[in-house]
Amino acid sequence: MPFQPLPDAIRALVHDGDTVAMEGFTHLIPFAAAHELIRQQRRELTLVRMTPDLIFDQLIGMGVAKALTFSWGGNPGVGSLHRLRDAVEHQWPRPITLDEHSHAALASAWDAGAANLPFAVLRGYVGVDLPKVNPAIRSVTCPYTGEQLATVPALRPDVTVIHAQRADRAGNVLLEGIIGVQKQAVLAAKRALVTVEEVVDDFGPRSLNATILPAWTLSAVCVVPGGAFPSYAQGYYRRDNAFYLAWDEIARDRDTFLRWMTANVLDKTAEDFARHRRVA
Partner 1 sequence: MTPATPTEVMTVVAARALRSSDVCFVGIGAPSAACNLARLTHAPGITLIYESGTIGTEPQVLPLSIGDGELCETALTTVSVPEMFRYWLQGGRITVGFLGGAQIDRFANLNTTVVGPYARPKVRLPGGGGAPEIAALCQQVFITMSLGARAFVPMLDFITSLGHGTGGDHRARLGLTTRGPTRVITDGCVLEPDPETKELTVTSLHEGVTREQVQAKCGWPLRFAPQLPTTPTPGAGELEVLRALHERTDRAHRGSPS
Interaction site with partner 1 (CB under 8 A): 25-27, 50-51, 70-74, 76-78, 80-81, 84-85, 88-89, 100-104, 107-108, 110-111, 122-130, 133, 147-148, 177-181, 183-184, 232, 234, 237-242, 244-245, 276, 279
CB of 21 to partner 1, least distance (A): 13
**Of residues 102 and 195, the one with the C-beta less far from partner 1:** 102
Measured CA to CA, the distance from residue 135 to residue 100 in angstroms comes to 10
Pair 182, 28: CB distance under 8 Å: yes
Pair 228, 10: CB distance under 8 Å: no
Pair 57, 77: CB distance under 8 Å: no
Between the alpha carbon of residue 90 and those of residues 84, 93, 141, the distances in Å are 10, 8, 40
CB of 95 to partner 1, least distance (A): 11
**Of residues 206 and 238, the one with the C-beta less far from partner 1:** 238
CB of 169 to partner 1, least distance (A): 27
Measured CA to CA, the distance from residue 159 to residue 30 in angstroms comes to 13
**Of residues 1 and 126, the one with the C-beta less far from partner 1:** 126
DSSP H or E segment with residue 185? helix 182-188
**Of residues 169 and 206, the one with the C-beta less far from partner 1:** 206
Pair 14, 20: CB distance under 8 Å: yes
**Of residues 91 and 256, the one with the C-beta less far from partner 1:** 91
CB of 8 to partner 1, least distance (A): 29
CB of 243 to partner 1, least distance (A): 8
Cis peptide before 135 (omega within 30 of 0): no
What is the greatest pairwise CA distance in the chain?
59
Measured CA to CA, the distance from residue 84 to residue 88 in angstroms comes to 6
**Of residues 175 and 215, the one with the C-beta less far from partner 1:** 175
CB of 106 to partner 1, least distance (A): 9
Cβ contacts of 134 within 8 Å, gap of 6 or more: 99, 100, 101
CB of 25 to partner 1, least distance (A): 5
What type of residue sits at position 262?
Answer: T
**Of residues 188 and 223, the one with the C-beta less far from partner 1:** 188
